[in-house]
Amino acid sequence: MNEIIIRGGRPLEGSVRVQGAKNSVLPILAATILHPGQVTLQGCPHLSDVEASIRILRHLGCQVRWEGDELLVDSSSISRWDIPDHLMREMRSSVIFLGAILARLGWAEMSYPGGCELGPRPIDLHLSTLRKLGADLRESGGQMRCTAQHMEGREIALSIPSVGATENAILAACGAEGETVLVNAAREPEIKDLQDFLQAIGCQVRGAGSSTICIRGRCPTHDAVHTVMPDRIVAATYLAAVAAAGGTVELHNVDYRHLSTVTAALHEAGCRISGRDGRITLHASGRMGSAGTIRTAPYPGFPTDAQAILMAALLRGQGTTVFVETIFESRYRHVDELRRMGADISVADRVAVVTGVPKLSGADVRCTDLRGGAALLVAGLAAEGTTRIGGVHHILRGYEEPVRDLKELGAEIAWSEN
């Protein structure tokens, strides 16, 4: 499954179910080790990042098994507190295990998480919040050794609302004595889902979804079943695909409220959108218009993860759309690939200006990162002729069955083994 081949230009019709959220299940998988018993995660997406987390859990001594789309994790016999370098390098989210391992065992040893294609992604905030809880962290030669025999809850203000640092702090605080109050916490829905999971196993966490989160540590835990929330970025991708290719599609297993900035942009550009009871319907016909200026921001602002995807949907729009990427330094690497298809995009520092062109042409392109890869799928559906997308392992980090789903909607799309 090396390449995806798309013959673009066909409108999309029908309905598709959205998978469970990658960015929710990864911290939840780390959180499973807080409970020395069994948890069941329903609606767990089959993703390469999930498999990477499972390899870490198994290395730590957990029993993990799939039953369809349920993942059962039993952490009662956890026997290690270290994560080897090759597992840390597989994905950046592996760093979320740090807070969870410290909370459960009081020791942790790991290297720095995998490099990333979005520019520098430091973990200074993760480490400083753990230190504030009382963890002793020593770093040498890219290796971190942490001891936290006695962590104590306190008020911690994050300098920026980092998603990962918020999650790491919540997990570590579950093992700290007394109450921790996180101020300027990230408000992403995935953090609320992590809270829901933690509450299900007996932890006392409240406030997620707001910028103040309170955690009472060292609560007794118990077995639980949790359903992973729907993936709002996968939903945004399929909405953008319909906007790009035209047609009418209903998504189910979505939360309309999580997508309000994305649907507002698509509406501004001319799509008709309605939502109810876990469903969203989008209708697009003719060329799109402009979406004005899109500025990425922490939730509830426009998600940086949907920036490339929306950009791809607007390449054939009439008019100009301006993107301002405020979260990551280097998040326009997909632009060169989109230009190969005839897109008119100019980039200066963190600003990208998309001027709509009447037509896109299929081309040989390569995924530069996960969401940049998804943008190529979207553009390929709108382009005339054949688009061959290489480097699709990036896409499989976050999309369970993109070819199956888009095919079901009528796209001419297939895997190639070349």
**Annotated active-site positions, please?**
116
CA distances to 59, 295, 312, 340 from 333, rounded to whole Å, are 34, 17, 13, 13
Q: Which residue is nearest to ligand UD1 (CB)?
A: 164
Nearer to ligand UD1 among residue 26 and residue 411 (C-beta):
26
Instruction: For residue 135, count other CB atoms closer than 10 A to its CB.
Output: 25
What are the b/e assignments for 190-214, b being 16+ CB within 10 Å? Answer: bbbbbbbbbbbbebebebbbebebb
CB 261 within 8 A of CB 236: no
Determine the interface stretch with ligand UD1 among 51-59, 105-113, 159-167, 235-243 (rule: CB under 6 A). 159-167
Residues 6+ apart with CB under 8 A from 68: none
Q: Does 304 bind ligand UD1 (CB under 6 A)?
A: yes
Q: Does 68 bind ligand UD1 (CB under 6 A)?
A: no
> 273, 339, 333, 309: which is closest to 399 by C-alpha?
309
Residue 406, class by beta-carbon neighbours within 10 Å (0-12 exposed, 13-18 middle, 19+ buried)? Answer: buried
Q: Does 75 bind ligand UD1 (CB under 6 A)?
A: no
Determine the interface stretch with ligand UD1 among 124-132, 146-154, 169-177, 245-253 (rule: CB under 6 A). 124-132
Distance CA 176, CA 170 (A): 10
Binding-site string for ligand UD1 from residue 76 to residue 115, where x marks contact by CB under 6 A and - marks none: ----------------xx----------------------
Nearest approach, Cβ of residue 215 and ligand UD1 (Å)? 18
Nearest approach, Cβ of residue 261 and ligand UD1 (Å)? 12
Q: Does 290 bind ligand UD1 (CB under 6 A)?
A: no
Total length of the chain: 418
Nearest approach, Cβ of residue 139 and ligand UD1 (Å)? 13
SS3 265: helix
Is beta strand 143-147 parallel, antiparallel or unpaired with respect to 107-111?
antiparallel
Nearer to ligand UD1 among residue 61 and residue 301 (C-beta):
301
Binding-site string for ligand UD1 from residue 201 to residue 240, where x marks contact by CB under 6 A and - marks none: ----------------------------------------
Determine the interface stretch with ligand UD1 among 63-71, 155-163, 306-314, 402-410 (rule: CB under 6 A). 155-163
Exactly one of 6, 18, 25, 26 binds ligand UD1 (CB under 6 A); that residue is 26
Q: Where are the alpha helices (DSSP H) in 149-250?
A: 163-173, 189-200, 232-245
Residue 327, class by beta-carbon neighbours within 10 Å (0-12 exposed, 13-18 middle, 19+ buried)? Answer: buried
Determine the interface stretch with ligand UD1 among 119-127, 239-247, 249-257, 260-268 (rule: CB under 6 A). 119-127
Tokens 């369970």, residue?
400
What's the angle, vertex CA 173, arms to CA 169 and CA 179, rounded to 5? Answer: 125
Exactly one of 20, 71, 103, 126 binds ligand UD1 (CB under 6 A); that residue is 126
CB 316 within 8 A of CB 359: yes
Nearest approach, Cβ of residue 151 and ligand UD1 (Å)? 19
Q: Does 193 bind ligand UD1 (CB under 6 A)?
A: no
Distance CA 230, CA 190 (A): 9
Tokens of 17: 């179910």
Q: How many residues bind ligand UD1 (CB under 6 A)?
A: 21
Determine the interface stretch with ligand UD1 among 2-10, 36-44, 162-170, 248-256 (rule: CB under 6 A). 162-170
Nearer to ligand UD1 among residue 370 and residue 383 (C-beta):
370
Per CB under 6 A, residues contacting ligand UD1 are: 23, 26, 92-93, 121-126, 160, 162-165, 186, 190, 304-305, 327-328
